[in-house]
A and B are shown apart, each in its own frame.
Chain A
Amino acid sequence: MNEIVLQAEKLAAGYGRHKNVLSDVSFEVRRGEMVGLIGPNGAGKSTLLKTLRGILDPRAGSVLLNGRDAATMTSREFALEVAYLQQNVEIAFGYSVREIVTTGRYPHLEWWEKEGPADERIVDACMEYTGVRDLAHRSVDMISGGQRQRVLLAKVLAQQTPLLFLDEPATGLDIFYQEEIFRFCRELCAQGKTVLMVIHELSLAAKFCSRLMLVGDHRIVADGKPEEVMTSEYLSRCYGVPVRVVRNPLTGTAEVFAEPPPDDGQRAALLHAILGNGEDEK
């Protein structure tokens, strides 16, 4: 088994004066794992990722990177260990694709240095890998959502970190582009990188990840291989709706369906009101 690269110990996280979003979260991640964080909206998947990355200070507990306490690391040392792709990045002033990917080289440079030929080569390679090299001089404001995510992925790769934290890297993309992003990640993990990503598409998560963590109810409800985590029982409990998991005989992967809630007879009346054919109408 590979060595442990990331450890969370009794981690608690939250915002401002509100109560904890997560508490007492502990787990270990080994090199080469592709971990998908799944769970209902608002369960704290992104919060967990932000806290692990140090964007949000942990309220309690600690994060260890290769056995070293993240709280003792400088911003730069942290950025050499973990790259982070945030949700909905807004980029002001219309920077070009190449300029954005180049920002990934920032932690590798001393403050007075500028990017050298070696950095240029890495940037080129990352753009080539995610298929955005042709767009190098286009402004990031003027490319499609799918291209944009691949640009941001290239930026994260240019950082050349052993760990990658990706917050919904594929959300909002066409299914083919989503799968492409996941395939990139799986390939990278096979080469020894470790990826932690927040995923909404349960079927895709089951198909591509080597491990899933189901976040809900302020903690990690289930953690393990996709087939262990993706069960009707866990998902129904977490998402609060009846969920059925079916193994697709063609692809061999799990597929997830929500069952409609039982009709208590009120819905017809509500629909009636919404559609505006009430009886008391004149």
Chain B
Amino acid sequence: MKIGRIPPKVFFLLMAAVFVLVALLSMSWGQIDIPFKNIVALFCQYAGLPFFADVVVTPEQEAVLFHIRLPRTLVGLMVGAGLGASGTVMQGIFSNPLADPGIIGVSSGAAVGAVAAIAFGLSEVSLFALPICALVGSLAAVTLTVFLAMRHGKIPMMTLLLSGVVVGMMLGAVTAGILTVISEQKLQQYLFWTIGGLDYRRWEHVAMGAGPILLGAAVMILMARHLNILVLGDVEAKAVGMPVAKYRLGMMTIASLVTATGVCISGNIGFVGLVVPHMMRLIVGPDHRLLLPASLLAGGAFLVFCDTVGRVIAAPMEVRVGIMTAFIGTPYFLWLLRRAHNVMR
């Protein structure tokens, strides 16, 4: 724990409250406003709880809540939490606050998968085609990156970083190549995908993401103590008895899988994986046993908050969440950095 910070218990209570509040806000605001009371009442009725029985909820509200807002909010919470947690893990593995899963090729691989799915018309065949292609693309890219960096069963971090950059460039060229030959309409579709969004997310998306993201997050939190050791670097970790390569590869795989799942169900959403862990580190300190759960909660809350604001700020138009995260996150992040700097002096 850092000194002069909020005690962890208080902080986590606060975070949980913010998490729930943001979720409620997201379900409440939009083209049709649904009061908090009605949302809670609906949940109670579904769960068979004898509260708020007197509140009248219109069928329209019910339909909007269950078919549009709830899946959208759940996808947002999951993807945000996943991006926050895997960003934390990657920054830990690389001992570098500027790392995110993008640097080992996750997003560039997903882009190739997505553009391929669009180019070959697969995305029109099934709702699942694009996400699955994106997932396969990103996992293939990560595998290639790791394979290129591997030397005698060891993965030197600098080599990994460089091979990530190279793979990213190469895949970027592939994507660009495909883009130059596809139709205007498909181009539009790809462009739309690259700016990540949570609009039209349905229960299918929730189902797709829930498994890998929840499981991945659980494993990451379980391994938080080991991450604390890994952060100290190869030699230090080995000196206290960690089989470094095994743990590093394992953690990296999980972080990539979670990010890839997030990217494939909601498009590329930058900023969350990079900045949320950094923000949380300034607040709760570098111990991953606190940092990971904090990034998880904050990532989910932050993404859904950005989405909600994007929905109402220029109604009836929607600003996609990939744009909002940068607009809301940047000033806050700069403020945090300046403050941290002042504290250090």
Contact = CB atoms under 8 A, between A and B. Distances in A.
Interface stretch (B8-16, B42-50, B133-141, B232-240): B232-240
A137 B1 contact: yes
Interface string A65-93: 00000000011111110011110011111
B286 A75 contact: no
A77 B241 CA distance: 7
Contacts of B242: 75-76, 106
A270 interface: no
Contacts of B236: 86, 89, 103
Instruction: Give the interface size bracket for A toward B.
Output: 35 or more
A176 interface: no
Interface in B198-238: 222, 225-226, 228-229, 231-233, 235-236, 238
B287 interface: yes
Contact of B97 (A79, A80, A89, A93): A93
Contacts of B121: none
Interface stretch (A23-31, A107-115, A207-215): A107-115
Contacts of B244: 75
A79 B240 contact: yes
Interface in A96-112: 96, 99, 103-104, 106-107, 109, 111-112
A159 interface: yes
Contact of A79 (B231, B232, B239): B239
Interface in B134-189: none
Nearest to B95: A92
Given A55-B235, A99-B228, A137-B3, A94 B240 contact: no
B311 interface: no
A15 interface: no
B287 A99 contact: yes
A106 B229 CA distance: 8
B233 A93 contact: no
Nearest to B243: A75
A138 interface: yes
A257 interface: no
B329 interface: no
Contact of B233 (A84, A90, A95): A90
> What 6 A-B pairs have minimum CB-CB distances, sorted nearest first?
A79-B241, A107-B241, A93-B286, A76-B241, A92-B95, A106-B240
